[in-house]
Amino acid sequence: MKKTQTIFQSIQRVNNRRIWTVFFLGFSSGLPLALTAGTLQAWLTIDHISTVAIGAFGLVGLPYVYKFIWSPLMDRYIPPFLGRRRGWMLIAQLALVFSIAAMALIQPEIHPLVMFTLALLTAFCSASQDIALDAYRTDLLLPEERGLGAAMNVSGYRIAMLVSGALALVMATYIGWKNTYLIISMLMVVGILATWFGPEIGKVTDIPVSLRDAIVEPFREFMSRKSAVLILLFIILYKLGDAFTLSLSSTFLLRGLHFSLIDVATVNKFGALLATIVGAILGGLLMVRLKLFKSLLLFGVFQAISILTYMWLAIVGKSYALMVVAIVLENLCGGMGTAAFVALLMALCDSRYTATQFALLSALAAIGRVFVGPIAGMMVEHFGWAELYWWSFVFAIPGLVLLVCLQKRVNLDELGVVKQPTTKD
């Protein structure tokens, strides 16, 4: 009863315009991703584009990896409307409406190069929106709101990916690819309205006076901090065990345990999505009381322990009940960890260079997710699935140890409290 009252009080404290703005902007952020990835891949496959060409279309995702290259421009220059953050978001969102609609008007089997160019443009605009959105969310939210703000952003993002992914495939079956992409391009109005009516951020002093400062100073400022190298190492390690666990999850269920595609689609995709959203929101609410360090530590322990359910499943073999337990528990705990982790990234950013520093920190955090796949594959080949998940659990421990060491050097709960800009909400 007491815990229920605590969560209810947390909801009351953070149920405000800032939090809901972040939710709808999360939806806007997630909407374009599948349209240049899985959904576009399905369209190309249906239109009989060669496998080699479809593989080449994977390169349109490069702007998401290298967005930190042009992020200093968005710290340095201010659009003539809506300010430094909302102005850039609106520009990117309007560009996305037109680029997605333009994709709808192209027949990929006739003009594959034009489709590739438009998909690349859409990914570039989407990555640019993410730069400005991440910076806006970081500058907007109060310290006690960061956990739930991160959770609401993740929830909106995941819902949007479901709309532009699974729902888009259903829509295309009945109304065709052209109408599907046109309709989804119109859904960007959700983000446009959230940007237009979102709270203004208090004026930030010391905006970079030159492009050189916008490029150099974010690095120099961060590396001048106490224990900067340890912080960067922690960012790489905190979600490493989680990354190993999820890197081959579909292959494990399909090839390792011989579950059907329907089983995997229902539980490992839709079920995991719901568990992640619930976990992120629950983690965000608990963070209001626990603060940053305790949240990172507690949720990190939960993440590590949940990995062992995959090892248990690998040992037991095909079991529907255990598969549901493993997937739901791992994604629930992973969602909680994500809420705390994104809150940490926001707390680490200096408001003068939020766009650049967040883009760099998030790129660093993605190292594990990007590069563990080949290593995990070799581990399965040589040792087996159970051993992979045991080592995934082991890989989760160094981040927790480093977290405790960091707290002794740097009070994580005080990060970003003084420099947080105020809003006019």
Instruction: Give the pLDDT confidence of 259-306 residue by residue, as tens digits.
Output: 776 777 677 667 778 888 888 888 888 887 888 889 899 999 999 999
Which H/E stretch holds residue 54? helix 51-57
Using pLDDT thresholds of 50, 70 and 90, give the confidence band for residue 422: very low
pLDDT of residue 419: 44
Judge whether 421 lies within some domain: no
Give the structural domain span for 260: 2-414
Residue 245: both structure tokens together = 């666990």
Q: Residue 201 forms beta bridges with which residues?
A: 423
pLDDT of residue 369: 66
Section 9-20 average pLDDT: 68
* Domains: count for the chain: 1
Is 187 strand, coil or helix?
Answer: coil
Spatial distance between the Cα atoms of 69 and 66, rounded to a whole number of angstroms: 6
pLDDT of residue 9: 54
pLDDT of residue 418: 43
CA atoms within 13 A on the CB side of 401: 5
Query: What is the tens place of the pLDDT at every residue in 103-142?
Result: 999 888 888 899 899 999 999 999 999 899 988 888 888 8
Q: What is the CATH number of the domain that holds 120?
A: 1.20.1250.20
Judge whether 244 lies within some domain: yes
Spatial distance between the Cα atoms of 238 and 396, rounded to a whole number of angstroms: 7
Judge whether 422 lies within some domain: no
pTM: 0.77
Section 331-345 average pLDDT: 89
> How many contiguous H segments (helices) and E segments (strands) does the chain have?
20, 0
Spatial distance between the Cα atoms of 382 and 308, rounded to a whole number of angstroms: 20
Q: Are 199 and 425 in contact (CB under 8 A)?
A: yes
Q: Are 367 and 375 in contact (CB under 8 A)?
A: no
Q: Are 253 and 264 in contact (CB under 8 A)?
A: yes
Judge whether 119 lies within some domain: yes
Judge whether 26 lies within some domain: yes
pLDDT of residue 416: 54
